[in-house]
Amino acid sequence: MTDAPTAALPGLRTVSVTRADDRYVVTLDRPAARNAIDAAMIAELHTVCSMIESDPAPVLLTGAGEHFAGGADIGELRERGRDQALAGINRTLFDRFAALPLPTVAAVSGYALGGGAELSYACDIRIATETAVFGNPEPGLGILAAAGATYRLPDLVGRSVAKQVLLAGRTLDAAAALRCGLVMDVVPDGEHVAAAHRAIDRITASSALALRLTKSIVDGTGRAEDIAQAVLFETADKRDRMTAFLEKRNRR
C-alpha cells in the first residue's frame, strides 16, 4: 500500500476520490445524511467511474462517518415518475461500477440499506465492521429494490436468503452477512478501511491482466471472441496480412 495518495479528483461535493500508485479510494461523503445516494452523488460517481475506466486500478469504496450509505434520497425518490424509473438512474450507475475492470472492495460500517446496500452488492468484495447492517426495505416504501439487488443478491447469498431480505424485510447484521458469504471479513468498529486496504494489498500482488480477465469471466462478461481476438492482435501473421492489404490498396 502506498503511504500517501498521488492524485485526487477535485470539484466533487458528495464524493471524494484519491488515486494512489496502485488503487483508488472512493468515499461517499454526505455523513450528515448517512451518505444517502442522491442525484448529485450519482452524477459524481459517474465522473469517478470515467476516471477509473481510463486508468484502471483496484477500488476501495467506503462511506464517511459512521455509515456506508443509509439508502437513496427518499425525497428525490418520492418525486420520480415512470420516465425516471425506466431510465434506471441508480441501476445504470451501479452496473457501471460493477463492470469496472479491476476488483472493487467495499469497506462497510453502520447502515448499508436500500440503494446503499445495492451499491455494496455491486462491489466484488465486502468487508464489514461489527456495526454493519445490510437490508432492502424498499417494498415498505411502495417500490422495489430496482438497482441490482434482485439479480445480484441471489448470486451473493442464495435465493432463499435474498427473498428473506427482499420480500420479508430481513436485515443482515455483520454476523449473518459473514455466515451467508455476503462479506469476506468482519472487523472491529473503525478498522474496516484498514482491512480493505490489506485485501487490496493482496489483490495488487497479482497480475493485473489475470485479475481483469478473471473478473470478466466470473461475471459472465468475458466473451471468448474478445480473448481470441486479443491473441490474434499480437501475432506477426495479423500484422503481415494487414500490412500487405494496406500496401496493395495504396498501389491502386
Span 81-139, pLDDT tens digits: 989 889 899 999 999 999 999 999 999 999 999 999 999 999 999 999 999 999 999 99
For the entire predicted model, the pTM comes to 0.89
Q: Are residues 139 and 70 in the same domain?
A: yes
Is 11 contained in some domain?
yes
Q: Are residues 225 and 114 in the same domain?
A: no
Residue 180 CA to residue 175 CA, distance in Å, equals 9
Can you list the pairs that 148-154 forms with residues at least 24 positions away whose Cβ atoms lie under 8 Å?
Answer: 148/91, 148/94, 148/95, 148/98, 148/118, 148/121, 148/122, 149/117, 149/118, 149/121, 152/98, 152/118, 152/121, 152/122, 153/121
Which of these is catalytic: 53, 66, 138, 225?
A: 138
Q: Are residues 89 and 169 in the same domain?
A: yes
CB 62 within 8 A of CB 119: no
Grid-cell match 488515486, residue found: 19
What CATH number is attached to the domain comprising 31?
A: 3.90.226.10
What average pLDDT does the structure give for the chain?
93
Q: How sure is the predictor about 2, in pLDDT bands with cuts at 50, 70 and 90?
A: very low
Burial (Cβ within 10 Å: 0-12, 13-18, ≥19) of residue 198 = middle
Its domain, for residue 233, covers 208-251
Q: Are residues 18 and 106 in the same domain?
A: yes
Buried b (16+ CB within 10 A) or exposed e, 138-154: beeeeeebebbbeebbb
118 catalytically annotated: yes
Q: Are residues 17 and 132 in the same domain?
A: yes
Residue 22 CA to residue 78 CA, distance in Å, equals 40
Q: Which residues contact 161 (CB under 8 A, 6 or more apart)?
A: 153, 170, 172, 180
Q: Nine-digit cell at 145?
A: 429494490
Give residue 220's pLDDT: 83
234 catalytically annotated: no
Span 161-170, pLDDT tens digits: 999 999 999 9
Q: Are residues 76 and 64 in the same domain?
A: yes
Is 1 contained in some domain?
no
Q: Are residues 78 and 114 in the same domain?
A: yes
Span 5-31, pLDDT tens digits: 556 778 899 999 999 889 999 999 999
Which of these is catalytic: 44, 53, 79, 118?
A: 118
